[in-house]
Amino acid sequence: MANLAALELDRPETVISPARLRVVLLGCGTVNTGVLDALELMPDRIEIAAVVTRRRRPGQTGRTAWLTDIRDAFDTGPDLVIDGLPDCPAAEKALDLAVERGIHVISANKAVIARRPDLEARAKAKGTRFAYSAAVGGGVPVLETLQRLTASGETIQSVRGVLNGTSNFVLGLLEQGIGFDQAIAAAQAAGFAEADPSADIDGLDAAAKLALIARKAYGTAPDTQSIPADSLLAIEPGQVCGARENGLRYRQVAELSRSENGDLDARVRLIALPEDHPLARVENEENSVEIVCESGLKIVLHGKGAGQAPTAGSVLADIRDLLSGGEE
């Protein structure tokens, strides 16, 4: 580990005050290209040890090693791993290895983090950072807001919103009479949808985000697969178009609430909302989230939920927190 001064606290998490972090980027697609561009402007605080991609990048030169083997990248001795991989076994193994080796993790990979709650728990027990602000809301600070609310003594009653920018973007195009495949291709070209967009379309991406929200709000979460989710494929594109003509807009709405006996209810539904409903007014890749606390406090967050700049911005905020030794 390079030059890390660790300050022990009276809880398992440890606040770090590093001078310079040695960083490995896992993946360099939409998200991590933006992260890399920003980190290259911070040579006094960040050293890029390696970047790992699936395919070779023979044209890449300079001091950074461009690798295709994740283990080779770990052998460069990073302090921090930034995970911009898709949901895949390689990502799960990489995060496992990072936690095992006591390497800080910052990830945008909501599917893996939701499926493997042990990763965060083990990292915390070891005193290493495991942050994933970008995994929910893209650039919208959903998890950060929940963290602050619970830290200030609020109890979360419910969270409801449009959490998947890709499906919202696709629904917007279907409303205009554009075909499903063309709408997906446009979402991919814009950097919102991954190569395999099925998790977005089937509501699993929103379900994984709900699981992470529940973990932040209540310290426990339902299994993503157990969350009922409507698929966009269950409705005809013409239905979306027809609804719009009748003053209704289909939205993929993710909902989480806790009953008085503490049971969590989470679901992802496709709902036709009146066009003046706040969630109906969420456009393109935007996300909008309403958090209601038992005290009556209500907070509405709104902003870009996908795409390079907002998502990389959230990853960078986690990096700055780590560099400053601030709270997760």
Ligand X SMILES: NC(=O)c1ccc[n+]([C@@H]2O[C@H](COP(=O)([O-])OP(=O)(O)OC[C@H]3O[C@@H](n4cnc5c(N)ncnc54)[C@H](OP(=O)(O)O)[C@@H]3O)[C@@H](O)[C@H]2O)c1
Distance of closest approach, residue 167 Cβ to ligand X, in angstroms: 12
Q: Which residue, 206 or 273, is less far from ligand X as judged by CB? A: 206
Q: Which residues bind ligand X (CB under 6 A)?
A: 27-32, 52-55, 84-88, 90, 108-110, 134-135, 138, 191-192, 194-195, 306-307, 311
Minimum Å gap between C-beta 207 and ligand X is 13
Residue whose CB is less far from ligand X, 32 or 128: 32
Instruction: Tally the residues of the chain.
Output: 328
Let me know: does 90 contact 73? Beta carbons within 8 Å: no
CB of 206 to ligand X, least distance (A): 12
Q: Is the dihedral of CA 176, 179, 180, 181 positive or negative?
A: negative
Q: Nearest distance from residue 30's CB to ligand X, in Å?
A: 4
Those residues whose C-beta lies under 8 Å from the C-beta of residue 51, and which sit 6 or more positions away, are: 24, 25, 28, 32, 36, 60, 64, 65, 66, 67, 73
Closest CA to 135 of 158, 110, 117: 110
Q: Which residue lies nearer to ligand X by CB, 108 or 243?
A: 108
Q: Among residues 104 and 110, whose Cβ is nearest to ligand X?
A: 110
CB closer to ligand X, 108 vs 240: 108
Smallest gap, in angstroms, from Cβ of residue 310 to ligand X? 8
Which of 110, 267 has the CB closer to ligand X? Answer: 110
Q: Which residues of 13-26 are buried (b: 16+ CB within 10 A; e: fewer)?
A: bbbbebebbbbbbb
| 30 versus 128: smaller Cβ distance to ligand X | 30
212: Cα within 13 Å, side-chain hemisphere: 32
Q: How far is CA 36 from the centre of its chain?
A: 17
Measured torsion, CA atoms of residues 24, 72, 195, 302, in degrees rounded to the nearest 10: -20
| Closest distance of CB 106 from ligand X, Å | 11
DSSP string covering 148-189: HHHHTT--EEEEEEE--HHHHHHHHHHHTT--HHHHHHHHHH
Residue nearest to ligand X (CB): 29
Distance CA(268)–CA(200), nearest Å, equals 11
